[in-house]
Each structure stands twice: as structure tokens, then as C-alpha cells.
């Protein structure tokens, strides 16, 4: 089973969740990063402006993509390997909704994409909330957060495996 750890930065107002950026890493060093050209920065609150928007590269950077291109490129990244894949995120429900909305309604998701994202935060809680490495200096950059999710996974999974008696 391949695992992909990802993070989304987004603007939300209680009704709409609008993707700003998406970062993902796999366990073998593959990475994906994209910024949506479709979000409206004027709808961002002060926290998102300061912690997310102010850190984005200029719009001339190739990471900026249309929603369609972002969707196609993310799909290609997730399905590049053989076999099934698990998606993992910290506080996964919002991230999963943002990603699923790239295709529209849930029934429109490609069949080879998972229908849910596993929650690292919940797994961390399940193993007793061990100390995790501190957030990176570039936290709230979607790719930096995705990389940090993989780092957190390694700590959490080591404890999980020890409790389950699984040496691998």
C-alpha cells in the first residue's frame, strides 16, 4: 500500500472551502506542489493573508495552475505507482473535501482515488499524543506541511507498530 501525505491551504467562510495550494509527498521522496489560480485572495481573512498568501511565490512561478491542470497533475501524482494508495493528512476532513471538490460532486471522483483521507491527528491521539518534531519554519506552506506530515507519520507509526507487535 502506497501512502501519500498531503496538506491543503484554503480560504473558508463556513459555507465555501476554496483551495489555495496543495502539497503532497510520498514515502519514497516524490513531491507535488501546486497553487490554484482560481481562488479569490480578497475573500481571505487576516490569518490566511498573513500565514499563507504572503508566503506564496509570485504568480509567474510554474506552481500556479488552473484548477483543471492542478486536478490532473495531482491525480497523476497520486496514481503514478502500482496498486492502491492511502491518503493521509493532519485534521483530514477539510483537506479531503477541498481535494474532492476539484472534481465537483463526490461521485465524480476518479475510481482510483481514495474516497477518504486517513487522519494523522487521530492516529497521533490513538497512540497517546507523543512528542512530535516542531513545525518547520515555513509552516503553512502546503508542501512544507506535507513534508512535516510524513515526519510526524514516522514517529506515530513507530509507536503504533510497537503496540501492535509489528516489527516493520
Cα dist from 45 to 19, 37, 40, whole Å: 14, 18, 11
7 is in an annotated binding site: yes
Judging by DSSP bridges, how do beta strands 17-26 and 31-36 pair with one another?
Answer: antiparallel
Strand positions, DSSP E, the chain: 2-12, 17-26, 31-36, 64-65, 85-89, 118-119
Specify the pairing of strand 64-65 against strand 85-89.
unpaired
* Beta strand segments in 74-160, E: 85-89, 118-119
Dihedral angle, C-alpha 26, 87, 124, 47, nearest 10 °: 90
Q: How far apart are CA 157 and CA 140, in angstroms?
A: 23
Cα separation, 50 vs 70, whole angstroms: 24
Grid cell locating 122: 487521530
Residues comprising the binding site?
7
Residues comprising the binding site for Mg(2+)?
7
Amino acid at each position: 500500500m502506497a501512502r501519500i501525505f498531503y496538506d491543503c491551504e484554503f480560504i473558508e467562510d463556513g459555507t465555501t472551502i476554496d483551495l489555495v495550494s496543495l502539497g503532497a509527498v510520498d514515502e519514497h521522496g516524490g513531491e507535488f506542489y501546486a497553487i490554484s489560480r482560481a481562488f479569490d485572495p480578497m475573500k481571505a481573512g487576516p490569518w490566511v493573508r498573513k500565514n499563507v498568501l504572503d508566503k506564496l511565490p509570485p504568480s509567474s512561478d510554474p506552481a500556479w495552475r488552473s484548477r483543471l491542470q492542478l486536478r490532473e497533475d495531482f491525480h497523476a501524482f497520486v496514481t503514478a505507482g502500482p496498486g492502491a494508495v492511502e491518503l493521509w493528512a493532519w485534521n483530514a476532513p477539510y483537506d479531503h473535501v477541498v481535494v474532492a471538490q476539484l472534481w465537483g460532486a463526490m461521485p465524480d471522483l476518479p475510481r482510483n482515488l481514495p474516497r477518504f483521507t486517513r487522519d494523522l491527528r487521530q492516529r497521533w491521539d490513538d497512540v497517546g499524543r507523543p512528542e512530535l518534531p516542531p513545525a518547520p519554519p515555513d509552516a503553512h506552506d502546503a508542501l512544507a506541511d506535507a513534508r512535516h506530515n510524513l515526519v510526524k507519520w514516522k514517529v506515530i507509526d513507530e509507536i503504533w507498530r510497537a503496540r501492535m507487535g509489528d516489527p516493520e
